[in-house]
A and B are shown apart, each in its own frame.
Chain A
Amino acid sequence: MATTSKNMNVFYRQKKKSTTSTGKKSTKSPSPKHAATFGSDITQPPALVSHGGSLDLKDDFDEQEQVLRQFDMNMAYGPCVGITRLDRWERAQRMGLNPPKEIESLLKGGKVKLESLFDGRV
């Protein structure tokens, strides 16, 4: 659902295959203000922005977050709901499950989400 307007145009272009679609794009250059509509140039319409205004742009693309999500989903370390990632890592460490050290350094170091991927959603 996080498709940009450019992607939407590509989609329509394939479907219609007529010259009018390219013409349509050229006439739409002044973009409307509220843009959950087609042909908009704004990449993230306001309706899709949550979490107090900070844009969730990194959601699908951040490699670090993907690694951490794999850690969340790994059954060997137990359920991930209701426990912070670092606590879960430390619990796995205490139980002798040898969780990968990179996860610990990621969690203690950079700007990653400390809560599991289901936090606030379940």
Chain B
Amino acid sequence: MEVDSQEQLQRKQSTYLSLDENFEIQKEVYRGQQYSQIYFARLHMMRTLLYSLVPNWKSHLPVCTVLELKEGKECIIFGTLYKHMKLKPCILDEYSKERSVAPLIKPHNFMHQDDYLVLEDESGRVKLGGTKLSPSVYVTGVVVALHGKETSAGAFFVEDVLEAGLPPQIKRPLKSREDKYVVFVSGLSIGRSSSNPLQFQLLVDHITGHLGDEEEQGLAAEIVHLVIVGNSVEISRGLLNGQNLASKDQSRLCEPFKELDILLTQIAASLPLDIMPGSSDPANFALPQQPLNRCLFPGSTTYNTFRSCTNPHCFELDSIRFLGTSGQNIDDLTKYSEAKDKLDFLERTLRWRHLAPTAPNTLGCYPFTDRDPFLIDSCPDVYFVGNQEKYETCLLKGLEGQLVRLICIPRFCETGVAVVLNMRNLECHALTFGTQISS
């Protein structure tokens, strides 16, 4: 085997377009506004949209507001859903005089069979009855149109529900392309005692072409982009208890970043890289999380291939639209509703055209006044979520010919699995790295 071959392998390239402007909050000014503003923006945008869809759904019925409801009159109402949950943690529970048996330790899911849904618009709210809308599927913050009538008890009996459905998708130019791959990895958790640096080093070596023979390197040369989807570092809890740190501890605080920077520099020298913040990263808590500060990566930021991005992150590669989050939105849906798998949650957020419907109710969110940046206007081609338990993927087909690849990216620290997507046909496969040498 020759060490230096005749031709040098060139990595394939793709055009990158960042669409994160909507998620940046540098221009926002906080004037003491409350969350009612973002709910108003959400209701207005979604209601306009749903109103245009109603003629195709049930054109013969009148539309009215919640206060205009009359008993027995069949009509359509628009509003934001609110789910009243018995087990939802409430700050007042801490001040309750009677010590109830219910423990203060929160369960992973707050659903209860007594949960009920309420529909709210600017004029008022009405409790929803009937079996069409299942409280286990919906969460607070989803805007829907409902067909039904008011009962004598004052509730609204739901006969049918209209969700916004998948947004329209911009058609990709159909031309036979070559294979170009995008790699997704999340939950590196560098700094956690159980994280194995060799695993990520293997991934880096594979992507940069330092592993394998020419054929292997040829495959690696077809990787055009890497996206790191959140939770890249984990700082031990003991260092974050609010006390002043000794100098020994201060250096321990920085170690995960130094390690990450060394690895990211190796990657950035080789191919374009996007890094998104996650729940354990040093970024702001409320969504949309702002890009990780460039000072954390002194080595990598010297390369123009290194991009620090927001969470949620939206970008285009060769006019294929990617949209994804580091997992907080789906994890919150898991706590307040149920589905057969995480892909189901992903599909629901697309059908509701909202990335994080539970924000700001149970998910931290910036109080925007004039817009709701989580509304999905255009259907992405690839929709991903990071930091999940296992790798899952499916291809979602919409009624108007939309085609979306849904991807759940597992935590690399725990599974050693990264996800590789082929941009030519949107096919996905897992890339597993193991460091156990079996005897």
Q: Report A's interface with B, CB cutoff 8 A.
A: 75-76, 78-79, 81-84, 87, 90-91, 94-97
Contact = CB atoms under 8 A, between A and B. Distances in A.
A90 B367 CA distance: 18
Given A78-B37, A87-B369, 18 more contacts: A76-B122, A78-B36, A78-B44, A79-B34, A79-B36, A79-B37, A79-B40, A81-B33, A82-B33, A82-B34, A82-B369, A90-B370, A91-B41, A91-B370, A94-B370, A95-B44, A95-B45, A97-B44
Contacts of B41: 78, 91, 95
Nearest to B45: A95
Contacts of B40: 78-79
Contact of B32 (A75, A82, A87, A90): A82
Contacts of A94: 370
Contacts of A83: 31, 33, 37, 369
B34 A81 contact: yes
Contacts of A81: 33-34, 36
B123 interface: yes
Given A83-B369, A91-B369, A94-B370, A75 B122 contact: yes
Contacts of B45: 95
Interface residues of B, number: 16
A75 B36 CA distance: 12
Contacts of B370: 87, 90-91, 94
A94 B36 CA distance: 18
Contacts of A78: 36-37, 40-41, 44, 122
Contacts of A97: 44
For the complex of A and B, the 7 pairs showing the least CB-CB separation, nearest first, are A82-B33, A78-B40, A79-B36, A91-B370, A75-B122, A82-B32, A83-B369
Nearest to A120: B32
Nearest to B30: A82
B124 to A, nearest CB: 11
A19 B31 CA distance: 58
A76 to B, nearest CB: 8
Contacts of B369: 82-83, 87, 91
Contacts of A87: 369-370
Given A75-B122, A91-B370, A84 B37 contact: no
Nearest to A82: B33
A90 to B, nearest CB: 8
30 contacts: A75-B122, A75-B123, A78-B36, A78-B37, A78-B40, A78-B41, A78-B122, A79-B34, A79-B36, A79-B40, A81-B33, A81-B36, A82-B32, A82-B33, A82-B34, A82-B37, A82-B367, A82-B369, A83-B31, A83-B37, A83-B369, A84-B31, A87-B369, A87-B370, A90-B370, A91-B41, A91-B370, A94-B370, A95-B41, A95-B45
Contacts of B367: 82
A94 B40 CA distance: 14
User: Which of A75, A83, A94: most chain B CB closer than 10 A?
Assistant: A83
Contacts of A95: 41, 44-45
Nearest to B31: A82
B52 to A, nearest CB: 13
A31 to B, nearest CB: 42
Contacts of B33: 81-83
Contacts of B48: 96
Nearest to A81: B34
A87 B33 CA distance: 12
A91 to B, nearest CB: 4
A114 to B, nearest CB: 11
Contacts of B44: 78, 95, 97
Interface in B18-40: 31-34, 36-37, 40
A33 B88 CA distance: 60
A8 B48 CA distance: 54
A79 to B, nearest CB: 4
A94 B33 CA distance: 19
A82 B370 CA distance: 12
Interface string B367-378: 101100000000
Contacts of B37: 78-79, 82-83
A79 B34 CA distance: 9
Contacts of A79: 34, 36-37, 40
Interface string B112-130: 0000000000110000000
Central interface residue in B45, B122, B367, by most chain A CB within 10 Å:
B122
Contacts of B123: 75
A80 B124 CA distance: 17
B27 to A, nearest CB: 13
